[in-house]
Amino acid sequence: MNHPNFILLYVKSPADSAAFYSRLLGAPTVEASPTFAMLSLESGVMLGLWASAGVEPAATLPGGSELAIAVKDDAMVEARLDAWRSAGAQVLQPLTRMDFGYTFTVADPDGHRLRVFAPGER
């Protein structure tokens, strides 16, 4: 069983937020683009800072966030969706190929987001 290993926060400016969190946590920025920055936390968890204007599916609450689980490949993404759909999870985003990889998003009973993805080739 995979456990959450990414924390994604929706922010106005990924660059400004990355600089802030890097200073605050002493964590290096390991990826940066105009719409996304990622820091590697000492625990092994990755902190992603995603420009709120480009989040898909669009966030409905200010300050929204999600737990993300990276898996090995596309087949694992599809298997996890089938399992979670069978368990009654509400699908917010069907299987979708995005610039970071193959993904889907579901909601828990309280509306919190959980994303599973297989990273794309860079």
For the chain, the average pLDDT equals 87
Q: What is the mean pLDDT of residues 44-55?
A: 89
Give Cβ neighbours of residue 19 (< 8 Å, ≥ 6 apart). none
Question: Is 41 domain-assigned?
Answer: yes
pLDDT (0 to 100) of residue 34: 94
Give the CATH number for residue 11: 3.10.180.10
Question: Is 1 domain-assigned?
Answer: no
Total domains in the chain come to: 1
pLDDT (0 to 100) of residue 111: 74
Domain that holds residue 110: 6-119
List, for residues 66-107, the tens digit of each pLDDT value: 878 899 999 999 999 998 998 888 899 999 999 999 999 998
Spatial CA neighbour of 33 closest among 45, 21, 50: 50
> What residues pair up with 96 in beta bridges, in sequence order?
103
